[in-house]
């Protein structure tokens, strides 16, 4: 080497410097004061948890900003790609707020991972900034209905989020008071601190509520929120932005609620491979410079496009590929890492779908999978599945669908590649029924469904007894 320099490795650090600055794996420092990691290596023992954790500090890694590889992270506007039409539509409808006019209600619908929540959050965030320049107090009050059980809990959470947005304390506790008092507290906070608000209700169809009500909780929530603005219960202008993967969720909304809600629809379709490539390129800076091989982004985008057109899947592929490179202590993310990530994602994709469906669909699927798990061919008759479904709704005090609706919900599962079905008959006197089969092991689906706290509260032994009785009855 010129000027007597020591040879340098790929990242521009001399090998002598590496020995001096890196972890003391060998050399006199170890000989004089050997670490537990070094002792483990020589004595054949496993490393301690502390050693494994500290070892991370000595690895350079390839990921610079992990938040950009979180599909739920709200990114800046310039990173939102492939959704120009939807961004423009939502912006144009909500921008009337700047003129001190009431904005319309919106219904954003489409498959999971197509940018619905991202667009709503981005537009409301920018609208808030624009309103501030005009001395208009605008607030975004956002909840994910998947985390809510009843109407009362939903109103309480909205009041808490409104208080957080206004930087004040909510004066009504989450429990121990009537839902009417929670509504009054929500209206008090909004009326006192805002000129206009957008209530963003993500995963709307997840808020089913109690079975002793004739309409689902999300219908009553839509009615009250949209009515508050229309009936002058609030001086502030109100926009309700409902978001759902289910395009038909409004079919379950009562007539009174629909007459006041009357939303503008904005459809989100699946991303194609070109759009997914653009999304991933706008997140390349999640990694350090020059660590992504040229084929990594196109391959991750192509895999996600073929699977479901879901941006979350594409981003997850990129993240997992980077983590695989880091675990192997490699300095670049290559095509092979993406292929390994694909195998991991495909293995768990069906189960992720199970986690994301509505509570009612979970109940239908849980009942049917519980029956299938106890049969020799791992299939379930619709008649037996519905009886177990009735038991489950009673167990968690949830709304109960009629048998026809249960069957239709199970038919919908075929679009998620969770089940298939065929028509069967046991003879002229028994009539026709549907028999459901499963693409994934019923036991695995049940384990995933039990991650839902409401389903986890159901006693397994009670379910098993009900299922066994229905299986015996069918045979």
Confidence band of 18 (pLDDT split at 50, 70, 90): very low
Residues 94 and 184 in one domain: yes
- What ranges in 73-178 are assigned the alpha helix state H? 84-94, 116-132, 151-166
d(CA 297, CA 192): 49
Res 59: pLDDT: 56
Res 174: pLDDT: 73
- Residue 233 pLDDT > 70: no
Res 184: pLDDT: 92
264-267 vs 106-109, strand pairing mode: parallel
Res 175: pLDDT: 75
Residues 140 and 172 in one domain: yes
- The verdict on residue 64 lying in a domain is no
Res 425: pLDDT: 64
Environment class of 52 (CB within 10 Å of its CB; exposed 0-12, middle 13-18, buried 19+): exposed
- The verdict on residue 77 lying in a domain is no
d(CA 148, CA 401): 20
Residues 262 and 305 in one domain: no
CATH code, domain with 211: 3.40.50.300
- The verdict on residue 69 lying in a domain is no
Res 471: pLDDT: 83
Tell me which long-range contacts 137-140 makes (C-beta under 8 A, separation of at least 24). 137/193, 137/194, 137/195, 137/196, 138/97, 138/194, 138/195, 138/196, 138/197, 138/198, 139/165, 139/166, 139/190, 139/193, 139/194, 139/196, 139/197, 139/198, 140/165, 140/197, 140/198, 140/200
Residues 93 and 196 in one domain: yes
Res 21: pLDDT: 38
Residues 259 and 148 in one domain: yes
Listed residues 315, 331, 354: the one ending a domain: 354
CATH code, domain with 295: 1.10.8.60
Residues 121 and 49 in one domain: no
Q: Can you tell me the mean pLDDT for 402-419?
A: 85
At 79-113, the pLDDT tens digits run: 899 999 999 999 999 999 999 999 999 999 998 88
At 434-455, the pLDDT tens digits run: 899 987 789 888 988 988 888 9
Res 20: pLDDT: 35
Res 391: pLDDT: 95
Percent of the chain residues topping a pLDDT of 90? 52
- Residue 291 pLDDT > 50: yes
- Residue 16 pLDDT > 70: no
Res 24: pLDDT: 38
At 338-366, the pLDDT tens digits run: 999 988 776 666 677 787 788 889 999 99
Res 171: pLDDT: 83
Q: What is the pTM of this model?
A: 0.67
Environment class of 474 (CB within 10 Å of its CB; exposed 0-12, middle 13-18, buried 19+): middle
When the pLDDT of each residue in the chain is averaged and rounded to a whole number, the result is: 84
Per the structure, the count of domains in the chain is 4
Residues 127 and 201 in one domain: yes
Residues 444 and 307 in one domain: no
Residues 244 and 134 in one domain: yes
Taking alpha carbons only, the member of 271, 170, 257, 269 closest to residue 215 is 257
- Residue 419 pLDDT > 60: yes
Residue range(s) defining the domain that contains residue 12: 2-58
- The verdict on residue 74 lying in a domain is no
- The verdict on residue 160 lying in a domain is yes
Taking alpha carbons only, the member of 149, 92, 153 closest to residue 119 is 92
Res 1: pLDDT: 42
Res 355: pLDDT: 79
CATH code, domain with 421: 1.10.10.10
Residues 101 and 184 in one domain: yes
Residues 91 and 141 in one domain: yes
Listed residues 217, 233, 267: the one ending a domain: 267
Q: Compute the Cα dihedral for 369, 370, 373, 375 and give only its sign.
A: negative
At 171-226, the pLDDT tens digits run: 877 778 899 999 999 999 999 999 999 999 999 988 877 655 678 899 999 999 99
- The verdict on residue 67 lying in a domain is no
- The verdict on residue 468 lying in a domain is yes
Element (H, E) at 106: strand 106-109
Res 308: pLDDT: 75
Tokens of 167: 């930087």
d(CA 69, CA 318): 7
- Residue 427 pLDDT > 60: no
Listed residues 354, 384, 408: the one ending a domain: 354
* Cα angle, residue 250 at apex, residues 153 and 381 outer, rounded to 5°: 90
- The verdict on residue 30 lying in a domain is yes
Residues 259 and 331 in one domain: no
């Amino acid at each position: 080497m010129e000027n007597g320099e020591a040879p340098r490795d790929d990242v521009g650090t001399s090998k002598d410097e590496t020995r001096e600055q890196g972890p003391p794996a060998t050399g006199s420092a170890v000989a004089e004061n050997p670490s537990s990691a070094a002792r483990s290596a020589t004595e054949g023992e496993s490393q301690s948890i502390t050693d494994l954790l500290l070892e991370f500090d000595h690895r350079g890694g390839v990921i610079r900003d992990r938040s950009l590889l979180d599909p739920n992270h709200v990114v800046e506007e310039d990173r939102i790609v492939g959704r120009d039409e939807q961004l423009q539509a939502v912006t144009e409808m909500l921008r009337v707020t700047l003129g001190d006019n009431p904005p319309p209600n919106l219904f954003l619908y489409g498959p999971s991972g197509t940018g619905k929540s991202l667009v709503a959050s981005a537009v409301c965030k920018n609208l808030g900034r624009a309103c501030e320049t005009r001395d208009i107090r605008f607030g975004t009050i956002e909840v994910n209905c998947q985390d809510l059980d009843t109407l009362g809990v939903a109103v309480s959470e909205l009041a808490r989020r409104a208080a957080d947005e206004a930087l004040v304390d909510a004066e009504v506790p989450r429990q121990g008071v009537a839902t009417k008092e929670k509504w009054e507290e929500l209206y008090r906070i909004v009326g006192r601190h805002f000129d206009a608000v957008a209530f963003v209700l993500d995963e709307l169809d997840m808020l089913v509520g109690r079975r002793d009500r004739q309409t689902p909780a999300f219908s009553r929530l839509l009615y009250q929120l949209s009515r508050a603005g229309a009936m002058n219960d609030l001086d502030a202008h109100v926009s309700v932005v409902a978001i759902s993967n289910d395009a038909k969720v409004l079919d379950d909304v009562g007539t009174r609620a629909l007459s006041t809600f009357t939303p503008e629809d904005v459809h989100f379709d699946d991303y194609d491979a070109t759009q997914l490539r653009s999304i991933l390129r706008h997140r390349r800076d999640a990694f350090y410079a020059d660590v992504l091989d040229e084929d990594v982004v196109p391959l991750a985008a192509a895999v996600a496009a073929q699977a479901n057109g879901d941006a979350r899947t594409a981003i997850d592929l990129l993240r997992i590929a980077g983590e695989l490179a880091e675990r192997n202590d490699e300095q670049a993310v290559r095509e092979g890492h993406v292929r390994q990530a694909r195998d991991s994602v495909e293995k768990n994709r069906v189960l992720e779908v199970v986690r994301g469906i509505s509570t009612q669909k979970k109940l239908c699927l849980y009942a049917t999978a519980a029956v299938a798990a106890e049969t020799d061919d791992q299939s379930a008759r619709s008649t037996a599945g519905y009886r177990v479904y009735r038991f489950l709704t009673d167990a968690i005090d949830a709304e109960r669908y009629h048998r026809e609706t249960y069957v239709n919900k199970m038919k919908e599962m075929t679009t998620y590649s969770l089940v298939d079905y065929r028509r069967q008959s046991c003879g002229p006197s028994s009539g026709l029924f549907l028999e459901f089969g499963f693409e994934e092991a019923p036991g695995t689906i049940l384990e995933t469904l039990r991650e839902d706290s409401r389903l986890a509260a159901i006693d397994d032994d009670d379910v098993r007894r009900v299922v066994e009785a229905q299986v015996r009855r069918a045979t």
